[in-house]
Chains A and B, each alone.
Chain A
């Protein structure tokens, strides 16, 4: 496997882990919370809310803006 393949496989693995954790959390019978619950908890405070929204804005800037 090439270095490129390994690198891409790593990204795919983390995405699959995230989807798996989210689906596990959606069942309600697991100790794993859903992604929405994680965001809700992280956004409980003002700094958490503003920080996460700033991160979202940054993603848009990173891919499209100067």
Chain B
């Protein structure tokens, strides 16, 4: 705190009020430069290449961007165009966000944990009924059909847009995890992923299922062949999405 009263500014050793200078007084004043700031000379101006490079490194350093890019690459190689487009689009959007280093204060109100239900205009019973109706209808569509694709992409896109629109700032008040707990959960997730990867690599080929080494997808195939099985799975998928959006 400088102790200066509001409406006063320093101009050399003279102190004048804004009222004395009139409305244009502020325009005639030189810009107020913080004491710690340095002026940029011609030899000090950052090169565009350096800015682009540092932005690129900032994007790649984000593990989420790297994971999404890798997943999109392998999904694309496996011939899953829609999946690959989704993963690449999200990775590029996040990478651009990181590269631009938008570290200014967010203009969107921050959302505390577990307040999505409160901001939804419909009561939970209506949402549950809508989810059941969605699962029953979409479950009737054949797997890997265009109607099923559109029906899954639509809620997914809405969820992504809502998530993107939330504050970009890290949420305050989320306690860090105990290292023991973090290691335990990371171990469980990575272990499951490696187990699945091992089963995938033990298949005759990446696109040929194996009875002896089934992946999770292969194990769920008998369930997803039937309409009720697809509807139950869709309901569970929506429930997982709700659980995630509530965080």
Residues of A whose CB lies within 8 Å of any CB of B are 2-4, 7-8, 10-11, 14, 17-18, 21, 25, 30-33, 35-41, 43-54, 56-66
Contact = CB atoms under 8 A, between A and B. Distances in A.
The A interface, classified by DSSP as helix, strand, loop or mixed, is: helix
Interface residues of B, number: 77
A34 to B, nearest CB: 9
Contacts of B185: 21, 32-33, 35, 38
A53 B213 contact: no
A61 B86 contact: yes
B171 interface: yes
Interface of B: 62, 64-65, 67-68, 71, 80-83, 86-87, 90, 93-94, 97-98, 113, 138, 141, 143-146, 148-149, 151-153, 155-157, 159-160, 163-164, 166-171, 174-178, 180-182, 184-185, 188, 191-192, 195-196, 199, 211-214, 216-217, 219-220, 224, 230, 233-234, 237, 240-241, 243-245, 247
Given A18-B188, A49-B247, A63-B220, 14 more contacts: A2-B212, A7-B212, A7-B214, A10-B195, A14-B191, A36-B243, A39-B247, A44-B174, A47-B62, A56-B159, A61-B152, A64-B141, A65-B83, A65-B144
Nearest to A15: B192
A51 B152 contact: no
The B interface, classified by DSSP as helix, strand, loop or mixed, is: helix
B151, B168, B188, B212 interface centre (most CB from chain A within 10 Å): B188
Contact of B113 (A35, A40, A54): A40
A51 B90 contact: yes
15 contacts: A4-B213, A11-B195, A37-B177, A38-B185, A47-B98, A50-B164, A53-B160, A54-B90, A54-B160, A56-B244, A57-B159, A58-B71, A61-B83, A64-B230, A65-B144
